[in-house]
């Protein structure tokens, strides 16, 4: 057993946007922070959603409070996370089968929530977004955009560390250190070191573990009733649309198409699933059918565009405290002080909410931490201070596709990417233009020690071929850092299998041909057929 020799003000559990945001907020306020993640950052719902910068319009009619939170955070994120956000704009379209009268209700609700929504001529909408269904009978323009949750989370982690936070990935909280009715720290298992037990102590522990927060609360002896809701999405091979397209009707399945980076994503479905399935989400053929059938109504071009993969995330829906049956679900932010609620000192749960409101959730949680520490003089600055990479950009002209892509991904931090030599600039992932230099940078600064980490930091293996040639190239670079060939062969097998998991539901046509080719390379040529794939490492 190992005990970290430092005592922290706060330990944050969960490496999603909320946990990373909370760690950053705490660190910026000068608290001593430890951020703990079970596997890798963005491994949960943060890395498995639309990447939509909601204007809030989607909630305007049904949930005014969420809508207002969304538009406020939307405006803040455009400022502080400029490099993670793309101002694509959004449309809410009415199809002949939809009720056009709803448009009026919708626009009024948006305006009441402070969202700039403007009904426009369908002809103008078709001109603005040629990919949109030409049959539309109505269109409303809203300030939607796209946001890259991987970049957003890593920028928060980066800044937290810059301000003194300690970061542990692949450390799973298995128990708490407690004295009477007070949580005084956590017991963790280090997945990377033979399951070694590690302990750390703190005045306050924040549970920011998304759907897994339900289990972490249970472990602490308190109950936060959550319901896992599975949402499935499809990623298309290139951008069909450049403006977010939504359906102007009550929220339903597959009614948002978001252009993000090089691809576009249609989603989602929404189904309650049992807790024992949350670590094993797979998209079913029926879900693929629904997504495709409904998606084509938004943009007919999707029908003849290659699908790269399908994925599913789990939303943590939280039952209102006054109705533990779960019939009344709150979609808003839930920030619980278990001392006043359950008599358990030193423990906070922050949950509910959305990717869009991660910063506000972090602010609320950090405010609560400060109250518990008696340091309410520490004020939140995250609504004003830009995230690393999103500081104002110098206008440096970039030559190679790799440097342009890296600039897009890392913003002003891209200056840290080595690019002096031809080998630095050589491409590892050709679909997504990831250079050797970018990988070296990720290994050095972005907590990378396996291929999946690398994918989430750089988009390696996220393009058309889903990791056909880049995987062995990247693995060779990682291998140079530790010389542990055997581990990296397992790593390749894990990565390729993880990619296949997402391709399988859409494996037909070109995707099938490509996958077959990939399997020859890794199975037959590289001899990885008999390698164990380490699911735990994902």
Cis preceding-peptide flag for 268 (omega within 30 of 0): yes
Residue matched to tokens 């390696």 = 460
Q: Report d(CA 456, CA 462) in Å as an integer.
A: 9
Tokens representing residue 318 in the block: 């939280």
Q: Report d(CA 312, CA 139) in Å as an integer.
A: 29
Does position 431 bind another protein by CB under 8 A? yes
Query: Measuring CA to CA, which residue among 348, 34, 26, 334 is closest to residue 183?
Result: 348
Closest CB 425 distance from another protein, rounded Å = 10
Which among 34-42, 284-292, 317-325, 527-535 is the span making contact with another protein, rule CB under 8 A?
Answer: 284-292
Does position 377 bind another protein by CB under 8 A? no
Does position 244 bind another protein by CB under 8 A? no
Residue 292 or 477: the one with the smaller Cβ distance to another protein is 292
443 neighbors 436 (Cβ within 8 angstroms): no
The backbone torsions φ and ψ at residue 534, rounded to the nearest 5 degrees and listed phi first, read -95, 90
**Which of 514, 528, 531, 533 forms a contact with another protein (CB under 8 A)?**
514
**Which of 96, 164, 195, 285 forms a contact with another protein (CB under 8 A)?**
285
Which among 51-59, 76-84, 102-110, 504-512 is the span making contact with another protein, rule CB under 8 A?
Answer: 504-512
Closest CB 469 distance from another protein, rounded Å = 7
Closest CB 150 distance from another protein, rounded Å = 17
Residue matched to tokens 């956590």 = 186
Residue 286 or 482: the one with the smaller Cβ distance to another protein is 286
Residue 198 or 434: the one with the smaller Cβ distance to another protein is 434
Binding mask 398-427 for another protein (x = CB under 8 A): -xxx--xx----------------x----x
In the chain, the N- to C-terminal Cα span, in Å, equals: 24
Residue 400 or 485: the one with the smaller Cβ distance to another protein is 400
Applying CB under 8 A, what is the total number of residues that bind another protein? 38
DSSP assignment of 397-445, as one string? ---SHHHHHHHHHHGGGGGGS--SSHHHHSEEETTTTEEHHHHHHHHHH
**Which of 509, 532, 535, 536 forms a contact with another protein (CB under 8 A)?**
509
**Which of 112, 124, 134, 303 forms a contact with another protein (CB under 8 A)?**
303
Residue 304 or 392: the one with the smaller Cβ distance to another protein is 304
Does position 430 bind another protein by CB under 8 A? yes
Tokens representing residue 225 in the block: 């009733």
Q: Report d(CA 372, CA 369) in Å as an integer.
A: 5
Q: Which residues contact residue 499 at a Cβ distance below 8 angstroms, ignoring those fewer than 6 apart?
A: 309, 461, 466, 467
HEC readout, 171-195: EEEEEEEEECCEEEEEEEEECCCCC
Which among 92-100, 206-214, 351-359, 508-516 is the span making contact with another protein, rule CB under 8 A?
Answer: 508-516
Tokens representing residue 270 in the block: 């929404």
Does position 476 bind another protein by CB under 8 A? no
Does position 248 bind another protein by CB under 8 A? no
Closest CB 87 distance from another protein, rounded Å = 13
Does position 464 bind another protein by CB under 8 A? yes
Tokens representing residue 168 in the block: 């542990």
526 neighbors 492 (Cβ within 8 angstroms): yes
Does position 83 bind another protein by CB under 8 A? no
Does position 305 bind another protein by CB under 8 A? yes
Residue 203 or 432: the one with the smaller Cβ distance to another protein is 432
Binding mask 15-44 for another protein (x = CB under 8 A): ------------------------------
Q: Report d(CA 370, CA 9) in Å as an integer.
A: 9
Strand 196-207 relative to strand 271-272: parallel, antiparallel, unpaired? unpaired
Closest CB 299 distance from another protein, rounded Å = 13
Closest CB 88 distance from another protein, rounded Å = 11
Residue 95 or 292: the one with the smaller Cβ distance to another protein is 292
β strands within 61-195, DSSP E:
85-86, 90-94, 118-120, 138-142, 145-147, 166-168, 171-179, 182-190
Which among 145-153, 220-228, 256-264, 367-375 is the span making contact with another protein, rule CB under 8 A?
Answer: 256-264
Closest CB 93 distance from another protein, rounded Å = 21
Closest CB 237 distance from another protein, rounded Å = 5
Q: Which of residues 183-242 bind another protein (CB under 8 A)?
A: 237-239
312 neighbors 230 (Cβ within 8 angstroms): yes
Q: What is the CA radius of gyration of the chain?
A: 23
Residue 69 or 514: the one with the smaller Cβ distance to another protein is 514
Q: Report d(CA 442, CA 389) in Å as an integer.
A: 14
Does position 254 bind another protein by CB under 8 A? no
Residue 415 or 512: the one with the smaller Cβ distance to another protein is 512
**Which of 392, 395, 420, 508 forms a contact with another protein (CB under 8 A)?**
508
226 neighbors 211 (Cβ within 8 angstroms): yes
Our CA angle for 144, 20, 503, nearest 5°, is 65
Conformation bin of residue 95: beta by default, left when phi > 0, alpha when psi is -120 to 50: beta
Residue 120 or 296: the one with the smaller Cβ distance to another protein is 296
Closest CB 525 distance from another protein, rounded Å = 12
Binding site for another protein (CB under 8 A): 237-239, 259, 261-262, 285, 288-289, 292-293, 303-307, 399-401, 404-405, 422, 427, 430-431, 433, 463-465, 468-469, 506, 508-510, 513-514, 517
């Amino acid at each position: 057993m190992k005990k970290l020799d430092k005592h922290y003000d706060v330990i944050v559990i969960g490496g999603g946007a909320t946990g990373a945001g909370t760690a950053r907020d705490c660190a910026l306020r000068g608290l001593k922070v430890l951020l703990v993640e079970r596997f890798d950052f963005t491994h949960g719902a943060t890395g498995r959603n639309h990447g939509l910068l909601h204007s809030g319009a989607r909630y305007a009619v049904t949930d005014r409070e969420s809508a207002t939170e969304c538009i406020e955070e939307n405006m803040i994120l455009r400022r502080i996370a400029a490099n993670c956000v793309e101002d694509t704009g959004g449309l809410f379209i009415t199809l002949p089968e939809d009720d056009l009268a709803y448009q009026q209700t919708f626009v009024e609700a948006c305006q009441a929530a402070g969202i700039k929504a403007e009904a426009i001529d369908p002809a103008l909408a078709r001109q603005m977004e040629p990919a949109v269904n030409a049959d539309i009978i109505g269109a409303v323009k809203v300030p939607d955009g796209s946001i890259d949750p991987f970049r957003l989370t890593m920028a928060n982690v980066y800044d937290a560390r810059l301000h003194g936070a300690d970061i542990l990935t692949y450390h799973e909280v298995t128990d708490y250190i407690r004295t009477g009715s007070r949580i005084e720290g956590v017991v963790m298992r280090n997945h990377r070191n033979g399951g070694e037990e590690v302990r750390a102590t703190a005045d306050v522990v924040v549970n920011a573990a998304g759907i897994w927060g339900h289990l972490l609360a249970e472990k602490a002896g308190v109950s936060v009733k959550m319901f896992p809701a599975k949402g499935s999405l499809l990623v298309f091979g290139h951008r069909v649309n450049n403006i977010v397209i939504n359906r102007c009707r009550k929220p339903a399945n597959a009614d948002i198409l978001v252009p993000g980076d090089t691809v576009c994503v249609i989603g989602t479905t929404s189904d309650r699933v049992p807790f024992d399935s949350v670590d094993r989400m797979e998209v079913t053929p029926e879900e693929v059918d629904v997504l495709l059938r409904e998606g084509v109504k938004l943009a007919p071009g999707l029908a003849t565009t290659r699908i790269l993969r399908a994925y599913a995330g789990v939303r943590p829906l939280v039952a209102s405290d006054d109705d533990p049956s779960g019939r009344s679900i709150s979609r808003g932010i839930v920030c619980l002080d278990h001392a006043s609620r359950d008599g358990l000192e030193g423990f906070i749960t922050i949950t509910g909410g959305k990717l869009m409101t991660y910063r506000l959730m972090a602010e609320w949680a950090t405010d609560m931490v400060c109250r518990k520490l008696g340091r309410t003089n520490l004020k939140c600055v995250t609504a004003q201070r830009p995230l690393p990479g999103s500081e104002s950009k110098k206008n440096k002209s970039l030559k190679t596709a790799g440097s342009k892509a890296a600039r897009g991904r890392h913003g002003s931090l891209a200056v840290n990417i080595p690019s002096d030599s031809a080998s630095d600039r050589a491409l590892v992932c050709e679909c997504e233009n990831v250079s050797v230099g970018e990988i070296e940078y990720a290994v050095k600064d972005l907590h990378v020690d396996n291929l999946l980490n690398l994918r989430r930091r750089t988009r390696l293996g996220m393009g058309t071929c889903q990791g056909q040639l880049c995987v062995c190239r990247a693995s060779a670079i990682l291998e140079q850092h530790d010389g542990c060939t055997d581990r990296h062969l397992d790593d390749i097998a894990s990565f390729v299998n993880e990619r296949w998991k997402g391709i399988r539901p859409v494996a037909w046509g070109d995707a099938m041909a490509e996958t077959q080719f990939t399997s020859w390379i890794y199975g037959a040529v590289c001899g990885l057929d008999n390698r164990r794939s380490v699911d735990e490492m994902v």
